[in-house]
Amino acid sequence: MKTKVIFVKPPGDDRDLLEAGRALREGAVVAFPTETVYGLGASALLPEAVLDIFRLKGRPADNPLIVHLLSADDLEGVVSDIPPVFQALYQAFSPGPLTFVMPRHPGLSPLVTGGLETVAVRFPAQPAARALLLASGVPIVAPSANLSGRPSPTRARHVLDDFAGRIPYVIDGGPSEVGLESTVLDLLSDPPRILRPGRVTAADIEEKTGIRVIRWEEEPRGDEESRPASPGMKYRHYAPRAEVRIVLPQEDEEIAEAFLRVLEVMEGSPALFLSEESWDEIRARLSEGKKNVPLPPAYTYEGGRNLDRAGSHLFDGLRTLDEEGPSLILAEGFFGPESAAYMDRLTKASRMPALVRRVLFICEGNTCRSPMAEAIFNDRYRELGFWAESAGIGVIAGQTMAENALLALEEWGIDPGSRKSRQFRARMVREADLVVTMTGLQRDFLLQNVPGAKGKILSAADLTGQGDIRDPYGQPLHAYRRVRDQLGSLVHEIYDRLILTESK
């Protein structure tokens, strides 16, 4: 089969897509651009065409497809019982990169929804996507147009890399603006719950509509789930051949310095994904005073460090760098809730996904146990892109670390530098991926005082099964040595059980 590539440049002419639209309506598969990523489209009304999508992608049959529509007028026959919250969300965010999960209409083939009684629908904004919907006159199912396990396509070329000769049409509308898949919002849970993070964040939704939604990570872990979470989230996605490591700056560190720090300890020759500005700085620093130093291959996006631009280039970056065959890609990371979608995709791309990146240790005064734990953790894992901090529940602010704590660490060759004790704040708990307290009482205190943090607060004993780590304050050096050794095992346990297990 020869694949026909149809170029549409905005504003575009709807007639360009009449032929492809008709073919799609009659059962053909057509790849098309959307603002999130390129989709592999077929008519939702033709079970054979829907099956073709699963076959072409090598997609598991229980991983449901998103149905793309022009407007809410087209929900008829796709969704039954539209939940009341839909209207306000639709007004605020559609067309755009927000997908709604609602009850499936009995007339819609369960092949589309992987057998679920719910269906995901989205109203894309990209002009070529809208022109194709108009030309075909049918609801279009469209997963990302990549082979399962490859990064999602954000350029027509990516689609051709995976499907040239296997599908009749690819519509080329230029690079996808958002570059990360849509936010998936479950309207059947109350409050609505984000099942997959995307450009539209919980904060955006609350700000524009006043509707409070919960983020997927607030989902009670380990508790019984009444309905299955987003099925696609369990599959490993977006995996380039190279291993991917996330580079995050430490406090007071510039991102370029963070890259240089990691490069210094990395074996082999990693490739880099970062902004043009950071790359210029790194290049200058690497070649300072030297001639012809070999530079690592780099994929850069325009300008300075910027979350949206990084997101829009991420998948192209991973695909492009991967072609050079490096064993490792170091990719720029971001902090904060607005970076959730980007970090989620990047984490999934790494063979060692680090869902736990930032650990907060908590003790009483933040002069002995928690700063020791912080120092030991950072000594071992900071270079790998993980990072610990510490604080205390009842702190006299500005105290330096206990002398014996410093001596015990020095015996291990660890120098925590000069640091001052600090009082824990709820914000610190919210920003950390994992919070580890020294005692069960401290854990319970945090659980009562920081709503929504359940599931990421554990005590040392929860992790090691060895009981609380007691305060050595005022005791002789040997007591501090014992605490240091306990903390050494605790830190090991955190890394082994919580960080590495994600990849097992």
The footprint of ligand AMP (CB under 6 A) covers 63-66, 101, 113, 116, 118-120, 143-144, 181, 184, 195-196, 230-233
Q: What angle do CA 103, 107, 109 make, to 5 degrees?
A: 85
Least gap, CB of 118 to ligand AMP (angstroms): 4
Q: Which residues, 132 to 151, sit near Mg ion by CB under 5 A?
A: 144
Q: CB 279 → ligand AMP: shortest distance, Å?
A: 30
Whichever of 145 and 432 has its CB closer to Mg ion, that residue is 145
Cβ at position 30, least distance to ligand AMP in Å: 15
Given the complex with Mg ion, which of 149 and 168 has the nearer CB atom?
Answer: 149
Please identify, using beta-carbon distances, which residue of 25 and 122 lies nearer to ligand AMP. 122
SS3 346: helix
Determine if residue 179 is left, alpha or beta; phi over 0 gives left, psi from -120 to 50 gives alpha, anything else beta.
left
Nearest distance, CB of residue 152 and Mg ion, angstroms: 5
390 contacts Mg ion (rule: CB under 5 A): no
> CA 156 to CA 319: how far, in whole Å?
13
When the beta carbons of 57 and 422 are compared against ligand AMP, the nearer one is 57
CA 233 to chain CA mean position, Å: 11
Name 203's Cβ contacts closer than 8 Å, sequence gap at least 6.
337, 338
Structure tokens at 107: 């007339």
Write down the least CB distance from residue 289 to Mg ion, Å: 47
Q: Which is nearer to ligand AMP, 143 or 311 (CB)?
A: 143
Q: Which does 64 bind (CB under 5 to 8 A by kind): ligand AMP, Mg ion, none?
A: ligand AMP
- Please write down the HEC assignment for all residues of 268-311: CCCEEEEEHHHHHHHHHHHHCCCCCCCCCCEEEECCCCCHHHHH
The residue with its CB nearest to ligand AMP is: 232
Q: Pick what 184 binds: ligand AMP, Mg ion, none; C-beta below 5 to 8 Å, kind-dependent.
A: ligand AMP
Q: Which is nearer to ligand AMP, 189 or 475 (CB)?
A: 189
Query: DSSP 3-state assignment of 156?
Result: helix
**Partner from ligand AMP, Mg ion, none binding residue 120, C-beta < 5-8 Å depending on class:** ligand AMP
Question: CA 309 from chain center: how many Å?
Answer: 15
Preceding omega of 95 cis (within 30 degrees of 0): yes
Which of Mg ion, ligand AMP, none does residue 51 bind (CB under 5 to 8 Å by kind)?
Answer: none
Q: Residues 255, 258, 264, CA angle at the centre, nearest 5°?
A: 145
Report the residue number, 196 or 199, with the smaller CB distance to ligand AMP. 196
Q: Which is nearer to ligand AMP, 167 or 446 (CB)?
A: 167
CA 439 to the chain's CA centroid: 31
Residue 230 partner contact from ligand AMP, Mg ion, none using kind-dependent CB cut-offs of 5 to 8 Å: ligand AMP
Residue 496 CB neighbours (<10 A): 11
**Distance separating alpha carbons of residues 372 and 496, to the nearest angstrom:** 19
Q: Which residue is nearest to Mg ion (CB)?
A: 144
Q: Which residue has the tokens 């509509």?
A: 209
Q: Which of 90, 122, 88, 101 is nearest to 210 (CA)?
A: 88
Distance in Å, CB of 31 to Mg ion, minimum: 13
Record the tokens describing residue 146, joined without a space.
């990549």
Site string for Mg ion, 285-324 (x = CB under 5 A): ----------------------------------------
CB 101 → ligand AMP: shortest distance, Å?
4
Alpha carbons 376 and 370: distance in angstroms, whole number: 10
Nearest approach, Cβ of residue 149 and ligand AMP (Å): 11
Q: Shortest approach of ligand AMP to residue 379 CB, angstroms?
A: 39
**Choosing among ligand AMP, Mg ion, none, which partner's interface includes residue 119 (Cβ < 5 to 8 Å by kind)?**
ligand AMP
Non-local CB neighbours of 287 within 8 Å, separated by 6+ positions: 293, 295
Beta carbon nearer to ligand AMP, 6 or 195: 195
Rounded to 10 degrees, the C-alpha dihedral 290/292/297/301 comes to: 70
Which parts of this chain interact with Mg ion (CB under 5 A)?
144
